[in-house]
Amino acid sequence: MRLFWVVHALIAALFACAALMLIAISTRMGWQAFAGGLDGLAAQAIIEAVGLLAAAVVALQIAQTIAEEEVIRDANISAPTRVRRFLSRFFVVVIVALAIEGLVATFKAVHEDLAHLMYAASLLGATGILLAAWGVFVYLNRAAEELEPEAMAEAKREDKKIK
């Protein structure tokens, strides 16, 4: 079990490092675009930088989730309450990042090649489907939680380790 703890901590640290690198790259891209002049090309570069920042947020949130759930709490995510909370934290970040990436792809397609607009629309449509599926999962999982109120109380007690 100690090995799993170490591996989870390492994975969380690598996700955090990836997030920091994406932030640095995005900052550099944005600064170069700003310094190069305020025109359409600069706007596209800044929009791409925003897409990288969205990816950085995803990486950072995944790092935080892994660290909190597997390293600090050392929680067993087999209970319905824990699964719902873990997946909800993950999905909210992924859905927001995909929506931002879809908007970035839309802006890029409109300004560069309209043929790519179908890919952006597909990404946004898939994001909407993922959001709906997450909502159904939360709704259906709520009933399982009502059968195990002690699991919710235990999850709340574990949250105190984070605060």
HSE-CB for 50 with a 13 A CA cutoff:
17
**DSSP structural state of residue 70:** I
According to the model, what pLDDT value does residue 146 have?
72
Per-10-residue mean pLDDT of the chain, 163 residues long, equals 89 96 96 87 86 90 85 65 77 87 88 90 96 89 72 64 56
Q: Count the neighbouring beta carbons within 10 Å of the beta carbon of residue 147.
A: 8
| Cα distance between the two ends of the chain | 24
According to the model, what pLDDT value does residue 5 have?
87
Q: Count the neighbouring beta carbons within 10 Å of the beta carbon of residue 116.
A: 14
According to the model, what pLDDT value does residue 155 have?
63
Contacts of 103 (CB under 8 A, 6+ apart): 124
According to the model, what pLDDT value does residue 16 have?
96
**DSSP structural state of residue 114:** G
- How buried is 59 (Cβ within 10 angstroms: 0-12 exposed, 13-18 middle, 19+ buried)? buried
Q: Using alpha carbons, select from 60, 50, 79 the residue that is nearest to residue 18.
A: 60
Each domain of the chain, given as residue ranges in start order, spans 2-159
> Could you give the CA distance from residue 4 to residue 1 in angstroms, rounded to a whole number?
5
